[in-house]
Structure 1
Amino acid sequence: MNYIFDFDGTLADSEQCSILATQKAFEQCDLHIPDEAQIKYYMGIPIEKSFVEMASRTLSVEEFDQLLVVFRAAYKEFETATLTLFPNISHVLQQLQSNNHHCFVLSSKKTEVLKRNLEALQISHYFKDAFGSDRVQNYKPDSDGIFAIQQAYDFAAIDTMMIGDAIFDLQMGKAANVKTCAVTWGSHSVEQLSAENPDFIIDEALQLLAII
């Protein structure tokens, strides 16, 4: 089986880091500061899309580029103190690897940042590859990310599961015709996740090991 994991809100608790970095970036760029609920809702998609949705006005190219630069610097500033793994994630990944399953990470953040975070959390060795937003043409909820991994590693949709905490992950999985597993410890509510009709919904990481 091939398991494709979202990162933020699925493997790692980056909520506080994302909120702090986003609010600092909007404040420093003299923009209306989005509230926590708004930031949490859009955490599943790249900032190139989410910041457009959260901005209270249309930004020039220069303003938008500066907003991204400030956010990335702030995220790096906050990540060491705020980024943590969710309970039992390391154990689950170790078990999947021991049982010869293939694990991948597909994230809305840049690949360089994603790999830095995986290494800092000491789980990078569990994954065959990590795909960030810069390795796909169209962002979540488009299916490009899953197709990119399938093409690179030559495996079938029927043997693949997308695991994520946001409706965007589930929509992407459905579009790629792979199994979908929603996790309830991330950014979107059980009600929001259930509305996407995922194949599985789990409340704790260890439950993933019981899914066939």
Structure 2
Amino acid sequence: MIFDLDGTLVDTPRGIITTFAAVFAQLDLPTVDSGSIRGTIGLPVPAAFAKVLGVSEDDPVVATCVDLYWSTFPKIVLPMAPQLVFRGVFDGLRSLREDGFLLAVATNKFIATAESLLVAAGLREEFSVVVGADQVSKPKPDPEAGLVVLQRLGVPAANAVMVGDTTHDVLMAHGAGMSSIAVTYGVHSVEQLLSANPTWLVDSFPGVVAAVHECG
């Protein structure tokens, strides 16, 4: 089982929005509405800043924003991480691992930030592998991150399932040849998720566990 991180395991979107706003304020950039920022969650951070600012990723302002984001995010989000874990995640992951499932994370966060967040949230020990955006040449929705996880775990795609809250996760699963579970409590709407044709659509983490047992 491969999990997305933001919006799937941990309710970081509100922390991400707060961090973006703090970055813009520190750089005296125009305020961006929270909906626009939320709509970029799931993309790599440079792509997200470029999108909300309406510039190309190689624009110097993007690099400045990204550097400031990485220094600001831990101060805002990490202290509250344990309280941001979605209902049912702690018990669900533990039961899945006890039932013999190999668990991994594939995220568009950089690996250092992903590891810090998982540790702060008390979740890191549940996962055998964590793959971040800076460990692959193309981030989600490209299938590379999923394929790297499968290679490290020695698991064929037919025996794997991707769990995520955005179309990026579902499309990655399709590209890698895996099943997918889309969760509706994260960033993308039900309509958006259905447009990517996930194998299952569930509205809670206990629903994820039930769906995996069904396909397992």
Q: TM-score range by the shorter chain?
A: over 0.9
Instruction: Please say if residues 79 and 120 of structure 2, whose CA atoms lie closer than 8 Å, have aligned partners that are also in contact.
Output: no
What root-mean-square deviation, in Å, do the aligned CA atoms of Structure 1 and Structure 2 show?
1.5
TM-score (norm 2): 0.92
**Residue type of the partner of 1:89?**
V
**More contact order relative to length (CA 8 Å, sep ≥ 6):** 1
- When residues 52 and 129 of structure 1 are mapped into structure 2, their CA distance, relative to the original with a 3 A threshold, is same
Shift of 1:193: 0.7
Tell me the residue number matched to 2:114.
114
Instruction: Please say if residues 31 and 55 of structure 1, whose CA atoms lie closer than 8 Å, have aligned partners that are also in contact.
Output: no
Instruction: Please say if residues 78 and 117 of structure 2, whose CA atoms lie closer than 8 Å, have aligned partners that are also in contact.
Output: no
Deviating more after overlay: 196-205 vs 149-158: 149-158
Q: For 1:59 and 1:151, how far apart are their aligned partners in 2?
A: 30
Q: For 1:205 and 1:150, how far apart are their aligned partners in 2?
A: 22
Shift of 1:148: 1.0
Q: For 1:7 and 1:181, how far apart are their aligned partners in 2?
A: 14
* Equivalent runs, 1:113-132 vs 2, <5 Å: 113-132=113-132
Instruction: Please say if residues 108 and 132 of structure 1, whose CA atoms lie closer than 8 Å, have aligned partners that are also in contact.
Output: yes
TM-score (norm 1): 0.93
- When residues 60 and 115 of structure 1 are mapped into structure 2, their CA distance, relative to the original with a 3 A threshold, is closer
Instruction: Please say if residues 129 and 152 of structure 2, whose CA atoms lie closer than 8 Å, have aligned partners that are also in contact.
Output: no
Instruction: Please say if residues 170 and 198 of structure 1, whose CA atoms lie closer than 8 Å, have aligned partners that are also in contact.
Output: yes
Deviation string for 1:116-172 (max 9, x for gaps)?
A: 111111111110011111111101111110111122222111001010001111111
Q: For 2:93 and 2:104, how far apart are their aligned partners in 1?
A: 10
Q: For 1:141 and 1:33, how far apart are their aligned partners in 2?
A: 28
- When residues 57 and 197 of structure 1 are mapped into structure 2, their CA distance, relative to the original with a 3 A threshold, is closer
Shift of 1:194: 1.1
Instruction: Please say if residues 103 and 126 of structure 1, whose CA atoms lie closer than 8 Å, have aligned partners that are also in contact.
Output: yes
For the residue of structure 1 that corresponds to 2:87, the secondary structure is coil
For the residue of structure 1 that corresponds to 2:39, the secondary structure is helix
Shift of 1:60: 6.0
Shift of 1:81: 4.4
* Equivalent runs, 1:1-212 vs 2, <5 Å: 3-58=1-56, 61-83=59-81, 84-211=84-211, 212=215
- When residues 112 and 59 of structure 1 are mapped into structure 2, their CA distance, relative to the original with a 3 A threshold, is closer
Deviation string for 1:15-72 (max 9, x for gaps)?
A: 1110011112123223333211111111011112111111134576543221111111
Structure with more strand by fraction = 1
For the residue of structure 2 that corresponds to 1:13, the secondary structure is coil
For the residue of structure 1 that corresponds to 2:196, the secondary structure is coil
**Residue type of the partner of 1:35?**
D
Q: Which runs of 4+ in 1 moved over 6 A?
A: none
Shift of 1:208: 1.9
- When residues 59 and 136 of structure 1 are mapped into structure 2, their CA distance, relative to the original with a 3 A threshold, is closer
- When residues 27 and 181 of structure 1 are mapped into structure 2, their CA distance, relative to the original with a 3 A threshold, is same
Q: For 2:144 and 2:19, how far apart are their aligned partners in 1?
A: 27
Please list every run of 5 or more consecutive structure 1 residues that lacks an aligned counterpart in the other structure: none
Q: For 2:57 and 2:93, how far apart are their aligned partners in 1?
A: 41
- Percent identity over paired residues: 26
